[in-house]
Structure 1
Amino acid sequence: MNRLNYKHLYYFWRIATTGNLTAAAEQLHVSQSALSMQLKQLEHQLNVQLFTREARSLSLTREGAKILEYAEEIFSAGEALEQFIASGFDADRIHLNIGVLTNLSRNFIEKFVGPLLAQDKITFTLHTQSMEQLLENLANHELDLALTNLLPPQLPGKTKWQSQLVSRQQLAIIGPEDCEAQKQPFPTGFAKYHWILPKQGTEIRNIFDTLCSSEQFKPQILAEADDMAMLRLLTRDSGALSVLPPVVVQDEIANHHLKVIQPLPHAYEHFYAITLQHKRQNPGVRTLFTLSP
């Protein structure tokens, strides 16, 4: 076999991480036909099929998945070299690109990444994005890790994710300081109150809906939102009740604008740090996991 063409391998790597030829071509600023030709040349050189075509997406073959593992190591090492050069050849200086799900609690994010601020040799950039953008940018090695309260899908022949549970926060009924509902266990005494809740389909809402169904309780819903900051503001200013991890409203609780009325037993919101399964890990990620509470 002739010497491996690393440009073709790089193109294969980008196609594999996006799972879509059109998207990869756009990111690489080449035409789709040119990219397809480069892929065919690599398959011809290796004498193996790297992808199977399924509708508008591509799935790795068994051989393709194995070659992707090597490509991950090769190009992750290249990224580490680029970071070393960018640091002024200071091997101890590290920069982290951390993706954050758009509607994630800002108080949780600050608490999680806060310990990095005391590290002289570590800097970081936070990127607030949708789940789709987070996974795309992880796959493209533009992010070192992503913080989210959702688990990514694991599909055969697609990019493999490593999901680490980094925290879980007990959910509680949150309400104004003068609320007296805490004197009785939920749902007794709660029928007269209005609620502002996370949008349907979110983890918190699913948990609360299940609880309400089991207790045959129908809340009077004033509003819904899929953004934690907006839920916090609406709950603070409306006098209604909500279901949130107390960390989301810790400032309002400290200032006696809101209080925890009742913790919900066995009810938690989960927070995950997602990385690429085969990527050479930025040492700052390990430091972050060690330092964070």
Structure 2
Amino acid sequence: MSLDFSYRHLYYFWVVAREGGISRAAARLGMAVQTVSAQVHELERELGHALLRPAGRGVALTEAGEEAMRQADLIFQLGEQLPERVRGAATTPVRRLQVGVGDGLPKMVVWRLLQPVLDEPDLRLKVVEQPVDDLLADLALHRLDLVLVDRAPAPHPGLRLRTRLLGVSPVAWYAAPALLAAAQDDFPRSLARVPVLLPLPPATMRVQIDPWFERAGVRPRIVGEFEDSALLKTFGARGMGVFPAAEWVEDELLARYGVCRVGDCAGVDEPFHAICAERSVPHPLVARLVPPRPGATARRAPGPRA
């Protein structure tokens, strides 16, 4: 079925149904009655159902016609809005930035990493959170402009991606006020007595914290492990346990969650990396966030696992 031909027939049917008769529709369209009638009959033939039935001096909709009318209303109401929408899009420039965030990356850190472009006029920001392999696949297919992760992916010859370390934050321990005194008493050995919340492996922070416990000679009393960093902080703020977090977001952490700093986690840092695709014409906002090093060669990152 030809879409151009059928949409024209559908439009004539729509006008007939709204006017309540073929004669009135023909007068509105400036066409002969026979022409309008033939167009509607052709639509009925293509759809395989009668859409109109005689009703007095006009016509009425059959059950099939009522459904066709509902769909036609949607189609042509959208069509009436199209010129205005196009004019609005042409006169209002939009700078789109599509960012993927690795699951487990602290949400408050994401805001800090993107802050250099958040004041861009007419910015349209889209942020999605997925497993890193899925994000890298979408980045390679140009469905995303940038990916933020807490660990650099291993090189992969199949994808032209560039990785840049944006910053490294020290890590500290935090607790709800009810746990603060017990956690600070003989810290860090106190972490063997008080409940402890940790990120799940293979989070970069967890990979470093396990050896930190060994060096401190502490066997932690782990009561919860979380993939999502926001959930980890939420449960920690409710007093379920002492938890680690990046110092970069300490001010927001204390203000938003009402927790207190327990002590340092010396030697444990959380890195934050940006990954972008190598393009002949780089995205201007990505170039602002991840400026290429002069003379640097592209670093390749892994695609999705099989």
Shorter-chain TM range is: 0.5 to 0.7
1:135 matched residue in structure 2: 136
**TM-score scaled by length of structure 2:** 0.59
Displacement of 1:247 after TM fit?
Answer: 4.6
Percent identity over the alignment?
21
How far apart in 1 are the matches of 2:269 and 2:122? 34
- Shift of the 286–116 alpha-carbon distance from structure 1 to 2, 3 Å rule, reads same
In the alignment, does 2:157 pair up with 1:160?
no
Q: Is the 8 A contact 2:164 2:290 kept in 1?
A: no
How far apart in 2 are the matches of 1:123 and 1:235? 33
Q: Is the 8 A contact 1:154 1:161 kept in 2?
A: no
| The 10-residue stretch of structure 1 (219-228 or 251-260) with the greater mean CA deviation from structure 2 | 251-260
Displacement of 1:204 after TM fit?
Answer: 0.8
How far apart in 2 are the matches of 1:86 and 1:207? 54
Note the aligned Cα RMSD (angstroms): 3.0
Q: Is the 8 A contact 2:140 2:160 kept in 1?
A: no
Secondary structure of 1:209's aligned partner: helix
Displacement of 1:97 after TM fit?
Answer: 1.3
1:243 matched residue in structure 2: 244
Secondary structure of 1:119's aligned partner: coil
Deviation digits for residues 134-186 of structure 1 (CA, Å, limit 9, x no counterpart): 1111110111111111212212x311321111122111111122513575664
2:177 matched residue in structure 1: 177
2:125 matched residue in structure 1: 124
Displacement of 1:218 after TM fit?
Answer: 0.5
- Structure 2: runs of 5+ lacking an equivalent: 1-85, 292-306
- Work out which of the two has the higher radius of gyration on C-alpha atoms and give 1 or 2: 2
Q: Is the 8 A contact 1:146 1:273 kept in 2?
A: yes
Deviation digits for residues 10-52 of structure 1 (CA, Å, limit 9, x no counterpart): xxxxxxxxxxxxxxxxxxxxxxxxxxxxxxxxxxxxxxxxxxx
Deviation digits for residues 84-119 of structure 1 (CA, Å, limit 9, x no counterpart): x999678x8532111111322111112222343322
Count of aligned pairs = 205
**Given residue 146 of structure 1, which amino acid in structure 2 is its aligned partner?**
V
- Structure 1: runs of 5+ lacking an equivalent: 1-84
The correspondence of residues 170-209 of structure 1 with structure 2, limited to 5 A, is 170-178=170-178, 179-180=180-181, 186-209=187-210
In the alignment, does 2:299 pair up with 1:282?
no
In the alignment, does 2:231 pair up with 1:230?
yes
